[in-house]
Amino acid sequence: MPHTNDVGIPSRQAPEPVGYIGLGNMGAPMATRLLEWSGGLVVCDVRDDAVAPFLDKGARVGTPAELAASCSVVSVTVLDDAQVREVVAGPEGLLVNARDGLVIAVHSTIADSTAVELAQLCAERGVGFVDAPVSGGAPGAADGNLATMVGASEADFEVVKPTFELWAGLVVHAGAPGAGTRMKLARNLLHFVSFTATAEAARLAEAAGLSVADLGNVVRHTDAITGGAGAIMYRDTAEPVEPGDFWEGVFGHVRGLGEKDLTLALGLGGRLGVDLPLAAHSLTGLGDALGVGPGPLATEYEENHR
């Protein structure tokens, strides 16, 4: 049973078993890392072939009810909101037989409202709920180097963090339940919007007689050095930069480089007959996005395209 230390955070005398439900492309490599957990691992999946490798390595298998009764933390990686609801609160779900102090951690990307709703439902039963979606894909899962964004109370975060660190290279406490999902949605917005921009860049490169694959190699190489879009996310706010702020000079410099390069790319696209709507939008919006307002090249472009 958990006890409370002098700062009010639950802790345990010795590691207890942890559980994992959902052993698919992401769940299986994450659960594999938990085989290192000294308290033991209990797994659950509807497919016998998914469970078998874990039994061979010393894990136990159980139903959701059995995991809820015996484990301190149960991680869940299933397909969608409906499956998460079924696993957590369904007639044969975790809450049916949940032990005192259990913390349920959902790694599926679900609606933030679902996370908040389930957290409230769990709290009524004396169970902790954590939404902890992950980023890094199958390669990150295989390497044990995922990023996880955790929505949890302080107490529940302290309970799950040691297990998460076995499969994650970065564990961020985003805030209360629901916050982890909101951060994942913001992260994925950037991810998929960038795919549309990538297609635009690829069309320009191809029209210029260049290899799209070679361009991709350059992008991956340089993003690994510069940090890509994350390189401008050092401020604590997205509000405009105050005059005289340190970032005014930094982002003013970035704006100047960006507006110059976007102007040149739009010129190339015009000569090749390639429409670049995202480039045009970025040229006129880059300065505001950086918080320093448009520069002269963006202003000139807007004036010429009214």
* Contact present, 237 and 161 (Cβ < 8 Å): no
Which residues are annotated as catalytic? 184
3-state secondary structure of 73: strand
What is the C-alpha separation between 12 and 110, in angstroms, rounded? 30
Sequence-separated (6 or more) residues with CB below 8 Å from residue 255: 286, 287, 290, 292, 294, 295
* Contact present, 279 and 265 (Cβ < 8 Å): yes
* Contact present, 268 and 204 (Cβ < 8 Å): yes
Sequence-separated (6 or more) residues with CB below 8 Å from residue 169: 136, 140, 143, 144, 145, 146, 147
CB crowding 70-103: b at 16 or more within 10 Å, else e: bbbbbbbbbeebebbbebbbeeebbbebbbebbb
Distances (CA, A) of 304 to 288, 298, 301: 19, 10, 5
* Contact present, 119 and 178 (Cβ < 8 Å): yes
